[in-house]
Structure 1
Amino acid sequence: MSGQVSQVRRWIGLPVVAVVLVVATITVQLTHGGGTYEPLRPADACVERSVTSRATGIDGLTERLVLIGLDEAACTLRTSREALTLQLARQSGDPTTKQVDALREGLLSAVARMKADGSLPKASALVDEVLDSADLNGLLERIIRALPDSVIDRALSTDDVLVRTIDDLDVRALLDDLDDPSALDGRVEKAVTQAVKDSLEARLRDLV
């Protein structure tokens, strides 16, 4: 009988111990400022912020381009980058002309900003990556690889290639049927990356 009483007391004591632990945890949090917690606000898209990329080469270039471009577009639309991507994913119907124009202009503004801060790589720094994925005959590829960097950089400027790429980009198609906010960056980056490679390849062909 005494064993049963002890068992009952243990079962009764468990909720008491749980309550004590919860109260102690809350007390510690309040002591360290937990009672003044406020949710983080999205960054102001109109305030220039540093944008870095973990990728290199053309992938890194286009990643920065898209992130800056989305900030610029969000600023134009008077919202945050996070809110814009969420809106594009949740809205019913096609993207509006205002959204399409804002993103295109944002990407063009990003090119200008990257040119101004000196973060655009020279075209010659991207040639090997372009040739590695291009479908060129062996002789043409060897001729292009043999061109001095100075010749390539005089004939091609990275900002000009990017501007031409963005002008030709089907932005509306990129924004259409977007059901995942996190997919927007990747979708635009993939399209821009491929377009940049195609543009550079075509213009490299014209050099020889």
Structure 2
Amino acid sequence: MTAVPRWIGLPVTAVLLVVGVLGVQAANGGGSFAPKATADPCVHRDVTSQVDGIDGLTEQLVMIGLDKTACRLHVSREALTLELAQSGLQTDAEVDALREGLRDAVQQMKDDGTLPPASDLVDDALAATDLDPLLAAAIRVLPDSVIDAALKTDDVLLRTIDNLDLRSLLANVQDQDDLNRQITEATTQAVKDSLVARVRDLL
């Protein structure tokens, strides 16, 4: 009897695997091809970051802030980021809503207890500056209790947001990823500058 070549069974095996995968998807509610509904930006959600320090803090701030902004404007987060990424088309209402959305994010993080004390951010801020080494060393030996009594993280963030030139920032945005990156980078640098300036005043 002539042996059947092994390659003949490969198409049959492939069909059985595909059928099996589709069966599992259908059993778990995956039989519908309807697009996934966009998330409601007004619904509270927990946001985490893969990085630490000021970078992680501002990344969370921007993600929550975009949700808060979208909620204020009664649009989805996706629609908002697409609109803001269209260079030169932002309205005064959108810019104002973004600033208030970022302020709302600070309040949410304060209420959630996810804002770190200012003392946790000082080393990160100093590492990003060209401050005189002796002055930086003097700042580093300040007790955490002194720093935290004089500086509140929410206050630093709110001052930073109020001073951001959001319109100029948005004018250089090319796409959604660029939007998140530029706002995060600008906020991060502003927070670092603000922290260093205000901690320096404690000496």
TM bracket, shorter-chain basis: 0.7 to 0.9
Within 1, Cα distance between the matches of 2:26 and 2:130?
A: 65
Q: Which of 63, 70, 75 is residue 66 of structure 2 equivalent to?
A: 70
Distance 1:27 1:45, change over 3 A: closer
Say if 2:45 is the partner of 1:49.
yes
Name which of structure 1's ranges 30-39 and 192-201 shifts more when overlaid on structure 2.
Answer: 30-39
* Correspondence 1:91-106 to 2 at 5 A: 91=86, 93-106=88-101
Q: Which of 119, 125, 133 is residue 120 of structure 2 equivalent to?
A: 125
Aligned to 2:32: 36
Aligned to 2:55: 59
SS at match of 1:36: coil
Within 2, Cα distance between the matches of 1:181 and 1:134?
A: 29
Aligned to 1:80: 76
Percent of aligned positions with the same letter in both sequences?
Answer: 57
Task: From the CA coordinates, give the structure whose radius of gyration is larger.
Answer: 1
Within 2, Cα distance between the matches of 1:43 and 1:97?
A: 25
Aligned to 2:4: none
Distance 1:119 1:34, change over 3 A: closer
Within 1, Cα distance between the matches of 2:115 and 2:100?
A: 18
Within 2, Cα distance between the matches of 1:201 and 1:80?
A: 37
Name which of structure 1's ranges 131-140 and 59-68 shifts more when overlaid on structure 2.
Answer: 131-140
SS at match of 1:207: coil
Report deviation, 1:26.
Answer: 9.9
> Is the 8 Å Cα contact of residues 47 and 63 (structure 2) preserved in structure 1?
yes
Q: Cα RMSD (Å) of the superposition?
A: 2.3
Aligned to 2:3: none
Report deviation, 1:92.
Answer: 6.2
> Is the 8 Å Cα contact of residues 87 and 173 (structure 2) preserved in structure 1?
no
Report deviation, 1:44.
Answer: 0.1
Q: Which of 132, 136, 155 is residue 137 of structure 1 equivalent to?
A: 132
Report deviation, 1:31.
Answer: 5.5
Within 2, Cα distance between the matches of 1:66 and 1:196?
A: 13
Distance 1:31 1:152, change over 3 A: closer
> Is the 8 Å Cα contact of residues 83 and 90 (structure 2) preserved in structure 1?
no
| Letter in structure 1 aligned against 2:118 | A
Distance 1:173 1:146, change over 3 A: same
| Letter in structure 2 aligned against 1:81 | R
Give the TM-score normalised by the residue count of structure 1.
0.83
Distance 1:60 1:31, change over 3 A: closer
Distance 1:92 1:180, change over 3 A: closer
